[in-house]
């Protein structure tokens, strides 16, 4: 199962994903490629694969990305290899923007799409400032772009308002638990049950009058 998490920059996606992964077994994280420069706290290969524009464009032309988009003036993409590499962890979480989510919806319609909504515009600004890792122009652009991004929420399967962090973590964990019970995610558990119903009648215990 693929979990697609979107929402404006600063709404708390990374924080929520980290906490839900800590509390939930079997959730791998797809590390995206990006052309933006690393923030002081970020590590190459952990938060992102930081690559030059030429390399990103080469990968895009070669069809290496499941989806990619230009976001806040930089290129971001989910490589197919990255998603495949995480498969043994059972489920994979993508933290991508709304344009990327639309591309994944077309290619993997059975994925679970979650929108993270900030509690208010003022609080989003406070969180971006508090994180303190974006230059003032980058911060202003992210706030401006948020107005358009939040309008995409009806396209998603679920919306979590990240006001109280503990509540939002609980809600996201509930969504993961529910999505894991969808028919498409249950084939391994259902196989033996379905198999037991396809055995020949002669194999079943006989009952009824006149039989020993
Ligand atoms: P995103 O990944 O969506 O860009 P982050 O996870 O980096 O956002 O969060 C942005 C900032 O907001 C961080 O400083 C984080 O600690 C803070 N934050 C996240 N969730 C909450 C919350 N529920 N209440 C208060 N601050 C939060
Ligand atoms: P940031 O620069 O704050 O880490 O991320 C900016 C935006 O890019 C966020 O909305 C984030 O979800 C999005 N993003 C991160 N990785 C990808 C990706 O691989 N593909 C797409 N389409 N968006 C991404």
Residue 146 sits in a domain whose CATH number is 3.40.50.300
Q: Is the CB of residue 11 below 6 angstroms from any atom belonging to ligand 1?
A: yes
Taking alpha carbons only, the member of 161, 130, 139 closest to residue 7 is 161
Euclidean distance between CA atoms 49 and 144, whole angstroms: 26
What tokens were used for 165?
């962090």
Whole-number pLDDT of residue 87: 82
- Pick the ligand that lies closest to the CA of residue 15: 1
* CA nearest neighbour of 94 among 40, 13, 155: 13
* Structural domain includes residue 186: no
Distance 128 CA to ligand 1 centre (A): 8
pLDDT tens, the chain, 212 aa long: 999 999 999 999 999 999 999 999 999 999 999 999 999 999 999 999 999 999 999 999 999 999 999 999 999 999 999 999 988 778 999 999 999 999 999 999 999 999 999 999 999 999 999 998 889 999 999 999 999 999 999 999 999 999 999 999 999 999 999 999 999 899 899 999 999 998 766 555 655 554 54
In a domain, 50, yes or no: yes
Q: Could you give the number of structural domains in the chain?
A: 1
Query: For position 206, what pLDDT does the model report?
Result: 59
Q: How far is the CA of 193 from the centre of ligand 2 (A)?
A: 41
Instruction: Return d(Cα 6, Cα 43) in angstroms, integer.
Output: 21
Give me the residue label for tokens 């895009």: 60
Atom of ligand 1 nearest to the CA of 18: 6
Residue 205 within a domain? no
69 Cα nearest atom in ligand 2: 22
From CA 123, how far away is CA 11, in angstroms rounded? 9
Q: Token match 């030429």: residue?
A: 54
- Segment (H or E) for 192: helix 187-196
Tell me whether residue 202 is in a domain. Answer: no
Q: Do the domain assignments include residue 158?
A: yes
Q: What is the whole-number distance in angstroms between the Cα of residue 209 and the centre of ligand 2?
A: 69
Query: Ligand 1, from 15, 93, 123: best to mutate by most atoms within 8 Å of Cβ?
Result: 15
Instruction: Tell which one of 29, 71, 127 to mutate to probe ligand 1, the residue whose CB is within 8 A of the most ligand atoms.
Output: 127
pLDDT at residue 204, as a whole number? 58
Position 136 scores a pLDDT of 92
Domain of 104, in residue numbers: 2-181
| Rounded alpha-carbon distances, angstroms, from residue 41 to 38, 48, 72, 124, 133 | 8, 12, 19, 20, 8
The strand pair at 74-79 and 33-34 is best described as: antiparallel
Q: Rounded to an integer, what distance in angstroms lies between the CA atom of residue 45 and that of residue 100?
A: 20
**56 in a domain, yes or no?**
yes
pLDDT given at position 122: 97
Give the integer Cα–Cα distance in Å for 36 and 71: 10
Please give the C-alpha separations between residue 191 and each of 61, 88, 185, 200, 205, in angstroms, as whole numbers: 40, 20, 12, 17, 22
């Amino acid at each position: 199962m693929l979990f697609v998490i979107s929402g404006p920059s600063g709404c708390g996606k990374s924080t929520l994903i980290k906490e839900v992964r800590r509390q939930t077994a079997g959730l791998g994280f797809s590390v995206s490629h990006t052309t933006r420069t690393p923030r002081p706290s970020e590590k190459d290969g952990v938060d992102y694969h930081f690559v030059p524009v030429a390399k990103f464009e080469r990968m895009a032309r070669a069809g290496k990305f499941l989806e990619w988009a230009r976001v806040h003036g930089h290129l971001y993409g989910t490589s197919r290899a990255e998603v495949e590499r995480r498969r043994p962890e059972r489920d994979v979480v993508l933290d991508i923007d709304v344009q990327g989510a639309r591309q994944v919806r077309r290619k993997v319609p059975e994925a679970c799409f979650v929108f993270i909504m900030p509690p208010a515009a003022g609080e989003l600004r406070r969180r971006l400032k508090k994180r303190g890792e974006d230059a003032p122009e980058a911060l202003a652009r992210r706030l401006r772009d948020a107005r358009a991004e939040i309008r995409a929420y009806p396209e998603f399967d679920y919306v979590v308002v990240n006001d109280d962090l503990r509540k939002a973590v609980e809600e996201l964990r509930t969504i993961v638990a529910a999505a894991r019970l969808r028919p498409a995610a249950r084939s391994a558990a259902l196989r033996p049950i379905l198999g037991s119903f396809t055995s020949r009648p002669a194999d079943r215990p006989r009952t009824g009058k006149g039989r020993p």
